[in-house]
Amino acid sequence: MRRKLAAGNWKMNGLAAGLAEVQTLAQTHPNDTVDILLCPPATLLDRMSATCAGSAIKTGGQDCHMATTGAHTGDTSAQMLADAGAGYVILGHSERRTDHAESDGMVHSKTKAAWDAGLVAIVCVGETEAERTADKTLDIIAGQMSGSIPNGAIGVNLVVAYEPVWAIGTGLVPTLDQIGEVHDFMRTLLIRRFGEDAGQSIRLLYGGSVKPANATEIFDVSNVDGALVGGASLKAADFSGIITALEASV
């Protein structure tokens, strides 16, 4: 039985004042019937981890370098994220793939670095609007998963997030059939590559304009084990509505 996960990605949003939202969220969801994760900007990670200590909320990074230490100005290693209290790291988000030209090979190396540091890697995949229109969605997903995920994936070290690029921050959401088609396909790929036990235990998240109003129907889709939420994770009231919908789906 896969444990559901509600993951919030604050992206480049959030100052110290935002920690009040985290305290409210922790008070609203004191029990951990699902996993709750917040990934703040690196500047807030240490303080958010301290704020969440003893609560049901875990913290994570939004990216890591593939090396452990060294002359990499401006970068953060997986070990540093763990040192700041993180248990997870988001890797290969489409904004990183676009803004920083991250290739599948780089995401692959970063995932290995995350595992070496004891972090759970949330590897993101997803097609652009043009790729969906050209009916290439499943090919893109297969290529990104094969190129970005190293050998050795199991349920406790990997989460895969399906995020159609055209649905991120746009208010557009694929149909439930489209989400189900991709999630079922990802499950099949994981089982084929890693075997039945590991393949069935890796959690699959949907991400892209998830809100309290559409969360329940998305969480009913087969092989959707939770969500990777951007904008709606910034305010406790919004993210709480999504967590409540996920708890109800268990």
Ligand X SMILES: O=C[C@H](O)COP(=O)(O)O
In the set 108, 127, 163, 183, the catalytic residue is 163
| Site residue total, ligand X (CB under 6 A) | 14
Q: Is 209 in the site for ligand X (CB under 6 A)?
A: yes
Determine whether 247 is an active site residue: no
Q: Which residues contact 131 (CB under 8 A, 6 or more apart)?
A: 137, 140
- Catalytic position from the list 29, 93, 108, 183: 93
For ligand X, which residue of 14, 85, 92, 207 counts as binding (CB under 6 A)? 207
Helix orientation angle between 137-148 and 104-116, rounded to the nearest 10 degrees: 40
Q: Looking at beta carbons only, is 57 or 228 nearer to ligand X?
A: 228
Query: Is the CB of residue 205 less than 8 Å from the CB of residue 232?
Result: no
**Residue closer to ligand X, measured from CB, 180 or 231:** 231
**CB-based contact 168:206 (threshold 8 Å):** no
Per CB under 6 A, contacts with ligand X among 22-41 are: none
Interface with ligand X includes 61 (CB under 6 A)? no
Residue whose CB is less far from ligand X, 85 or 207: 207
Q: Does position 160 bind ligand X by CB under 6 A?
A: no
CA angle centred on 245, ends 241 and 249, rounded to 5°: 165
Residue 102 within binding range of ligand X, rule CB under 6 A: no
- Concatenating the DSSP letter of every residue in 44-90 gives HHHHHHHHHTTSSEEEEES--BSSSSSS-TT--BHHHHHHTT-SEEE
Enumerate the active-site residues. 93, 163
